[in-house]
Structure 1
Amino acid sequence: MTIYCDESGGLNAGAMTFAAVMLTPEAAAQIHARFRAVTGLRGELKGSRISLTERAYLLELFDRAGGRAWVAVAKRARLQPPANGQPTSDLALYAALLDLAIGSWLPETGGVCSDVVIDDGRYDPKILENVREAIQTGLGGWGRASLADSRRSDGVQIADVVANSLYNVEVASPRARRIGIIIEPMLASRAIRVAELAQLP
């Protein structure tokens, strides 16, 4: 299995969500291909760009394929500042959410090797390489952490939609109610699980 990662939002947007989606590469490719064939989508699949109906269809395909996700969330209004009193940075929040999401998966892998693929688009490549190395250290011999261009990764694009869905719910966007209805069965079945970050380390 592979864990595909992407985030949505940020401190200035009121909340950040980080999705760690578990799928085989084959399942991710099949979901993506079917979605594009039916919807006629061109360009990168982004949760912020698709309609509610398209979102529902993509997540239905994800659920049918046995996809699962941990989504780490942090809402600015509920997030406690770091214990050292330093201002909260967007990068520090990103790293903490990534660690929480991946850390939520590791006890469930049963020692089975899991690769972690992280979107490389949010920060400077050198910064993200440090993040990747930290995740690799945490994985140890269980798997390999790598960075990927989301435009070329089926799984990362699916993770983007999952992260964006939870982001909309967290910030109570105009689409939040409908998106909540879409994801409710997956939350109930625990296909999608949420872990809230209460305080930065």
Structure 2
Amino acid sequence: MTIYCDESGGLNAGAMTFAAVMLTPETAASIHARFRAVTGLRGELKGSRISLTERAYLLELFDRAGGRAWVASAETAKLMPPADGSTITDLELYAALLDSAVGHWLPETGGVCSDVVIDDGRYDPVILARVRDAIQAGLAGWGTASLADSRRSEGVQIADVVANSLYNIAAHSPRARRIGIILEPMLASRAIRVAELTRVA
């Protein structure tokens, strides 16, 4: 199994979410291909660019295929300030959410996880390489952490849609209620689980 990772939002956007989606590469490719065939999508699949109907269809395909996800979520207004009085940075929140989302998976994988694939598009490659190395250290012998261009990774694109869906809810966007209805059965079945973050260590 592979854990595909992507984030949505940011400190200045009211909330940030980080999705760690578990799928085989073959399943991710199959979901992606079916979605494209039905919707006629061209270009990269992005949660911020698709309609509610398209989002519902993609998430239904994900659920039917046995996809599962941990999503770490933080609302800016609910974040506790650091004890030393410093200001939380976007990168610090990103790293904490990534660590939480992937960390929730590790006790459950039983060594099945072979790779953690992280979108490489948010920060400078040198910074992201450090984040990857930190995740690799946490994985120890469980698997390999790598960075991927989301345009070339079906799994990362699916993770983007999952992260963006939970971001809309955390940020109380105008689409939050409808997206909540779409996600309701997956949250109830625990196919998608959410870990709320209120403190960045």
TM range (shorter): over 0.9
Per the TM alignment, residue 77 of structure 1 is displaced from its structure 2 partner at its CA by 1.0
Identical aligned residues as a percent: 84
Greater displacement, 50-59 / 107-116: 107-116
1:81 aligned residue:
81
Cα distance in 1 for partners of 2:53, 2:116 equals 29
CA offsets 1:61-92 (integer angstroms, 9 cap, x no match):
00000000000000011111122221010000
2:4 aligned residue:
4
Per the TM alignment, residue 5 of structure 1 is displaced from its structure 2 partner at its CA by 0.2
CA offsets 1:8-29 (integer angstroms, 9 cap, x no match):
0000000000000000000000
Cα distance in 2 for partners of 1:172, 1:197 equals 16
> 1:119-130 to 2 correspondence within 5 Å?
119-130=119-130
Give yes or no for contact 2:8–2:164 (8 Å, CA) kept in 1.
Answer: yes
Aligned length: 201
2:163 aligned residue:
163
> 1:31-42 to 2 correspondence within 5 Å?
31-42=31-42
RMSD of aligned Cα (Å)? 0.6
Give yes or no for contact 2:3–2:113 (8 Å, CA) kept in 1.
Answer: no
1:15 aligned residue:
15
SS of 2:81's partner is coil
- For 2:131, the aligned partner's letter is V
> 1:1-201 to 2 correspondence within 5 Å?
1-201=1-201
Give yes or no for contact 1:83–1:200 (8 Å, CA) kept in 2.
Answer: no
- For 1:11, the aligned partner's letter is L
Per the TM alignment, residue 171 of structure 1 is displaced from its structure 2 partner at its CA by 1.0
- For 2:19, the aligned partner's letter is A
SS of 1:178's partner is helix
CA offsets 1:99-147 (integer angstroms, 9 cap, x no match):
0000000000112243100000000000000000000000001000000
Calculate the TM-score normalised by the size of structure 2: 0.99
Instruction: List gaps (5 residues or longer) in structure 2.
Output: none
Cα distance in 2 for partners of 1:48, 1:95 equals 22
Cα distance in 1 for partners of 2:117, 2:192 equals 18
- For 1:69, the aligned partner's letter is A
Cα distance in 1 for partners of 2:9, 2:61 equals 24
- For 1:15, the aligned partner's letter is A
Cα distance in 2 for partners of 1:113, 1:41 equals 30
Greater displacement, 75-84 / 149-158: 75-84
Calculate the TM-score normalised by the size of structure 1: 0.99
